[in-house]
Amino acid sequence: MSNDVAAAQQALVEEFAFFDDWMDRYQYLIDLGRRLPEFPEAFRNDEHRIKGCQSQVWFVAERRDDGRLSFRAVSDAAIVSGLIAVLLRIYSDKHPADILATPPEFIEALGLETHLSPTRSTGLHSMLEAIRRHAADAAGME
């Protein structure tokens, strides 16, 4: 089986390579965040809130019949919404084993560690941990 997570990371890195500077990359992140699908109001509660994010982030994971994990999330902050869009593109609708087997190399490849504020970086890692935790739980059920 090919690793869809690694392929999604590579595609994202190639996409971001089109932008010459970080102002353009930030704007692209904001644009990606604006295109997030609607998030049900019923999930905007403490049970679905990701701790460790300075902004409000709500996150839902669902296991599909084919074993893949589907993620939905939303934030009240523009750049964080863009980071959510990136994470959903890479990890949503993927197999738990692929999620767990693939290090998040896109973070370094895009330069996110050096260009995000410390609080946004912490939030990114909190969201990533939530995705990996759901993947580990799902992998344990296989």
Indicate if 53 belongs to the active site: yes
Torsion of CA 43, 48, 135, 31, to 10 degrees: 70
Measured CA to CA, the distance from residue 130 to residue 14 in angstroms comes to 26
H/E element holding 83? helix 78-91
Mutual angle of helices 78-91 and 118-140, in 10-degree steps: 30
Q: Do the beta carbons of residue 33 and residue 80 sit within 8 Å?
A: yes
- Residue 45 CB contacts under 8 Å (≥ 6 apart), including other chains: 58
- State the catalytic residue, choosing from 53, 57, 61, 87: 53
Which residues form the catalytic set?
53
